[in-house]
């Protein structure tokens, strides 16, 4: 009886330790992402001055993009809110680099531009093996390009990160209801982008 009880106790202890280890592993992973995100935020602080971004080849697409929340079948779902003015760096290519987003996003406010978010764009190609991810977040897509700013033939995945402005929808949501294009001369109300099938990648 004693041996059976001891064996049961040992088994339960091992199971408990395994659960604790798993939980600690997940916490450590989450902490790692937080540290990465904070490091990224600090490294991009210089781009609060959009002129510094332009000198580093982040070029403005001019329009302030926002969405009405309209839902269209087989299209991406964007909650009502804005993305802002995109500054795109065409020299940033290859797999997504967590330290180097290829898009900076600004909100027009009081006649100035304020850096509020960043975005990674990854084209869908025949060599794509899996949906990209960063910071434990899977990219959205694949989707057509956002016309008229990006040709619809540019089928891609993307991921936003609201590093410099709180987003009630979550840090990685594509739109932010707290961002506005109101009063901006080049406000652009976009339609949801058409979703596309994945090529050379398993469905997710």
pLDDT digit string, tens, across residues 74-107: 999 999 999 999 999 999 998 999 999 999 999 9
Give me the mean pLDDT over the 115-120 stretch.
Answer: 98
**What does the alpha-carbon distance between residue 82 and residue 91 come to, in Å, rounded to a whole number?**
26
Mean pLDDT of 11-29: 37
Q: What is the mean pLDDT of residues 23-33?
A: 49
- Of 29-43, 47-61, 89-103, 164-178, which range is least confident? 29-43
φ/ψ of 75, rounded to 5, equals -120, 160
- Is 49's pLDDT higher than 70? yes
Could you tell me which residue, 16 or 160, shows the higher pLDDT? 160
Confidence label for 5 from pLDDT (cuts 50, 70 and 90): very low
Q: What percent of the chain has pLDDT over 90?
A: 75
pLDDT of residue 142: 97
CA dihedral sign, ordered 132, 137, 138, 139: negative
Structure tokens at 146: 């956002």
Which of 98, 107, 77, 109 shows the shortest CA–CA distance to 161?
98
């Amino acid at each position: 009886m004693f041996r059976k009880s001891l064996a049961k106790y040992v088994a339960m202890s091992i199971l408990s330790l395994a659960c604790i280890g798993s939980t600690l592993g997940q916490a450590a992973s989450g902490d790692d992402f937080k540290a990465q995100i904070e490091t990224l935020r600090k490294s991009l602080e210089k781009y609060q001055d959009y002129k510094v971004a332009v000198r580093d080849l982040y070029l403005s697409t001019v329009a302030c993009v926002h969405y009405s929340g309209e839902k269209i079948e087989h299209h991406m779902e964007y909650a009502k809110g804005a993305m802002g003015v995109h500054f795109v760096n065409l020299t940033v290519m290859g797999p997504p680099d967590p330290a180097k987003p290829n898009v900076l996003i600004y909100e027009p406010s009081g006649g100035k531009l304020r850096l509020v978010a960043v975005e990674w764009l990854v084209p869908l190609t025949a060599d794509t093996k899996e949906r990209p991810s960063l910071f434990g977040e899977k990219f959205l897509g694949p989707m057509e390009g956002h016309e008229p700013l990006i040709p619809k033939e540019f089928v891609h995945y993307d991921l936003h990160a609201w590093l410099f402005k709180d987003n009630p929808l979550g840090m990685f949501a594509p739109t932010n209801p707290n961002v506005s294009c109101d009063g901006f001369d080049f406000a652009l109300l976009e339609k949801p982008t058409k979703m596309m099938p994945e090529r050379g990648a398993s469905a997710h």
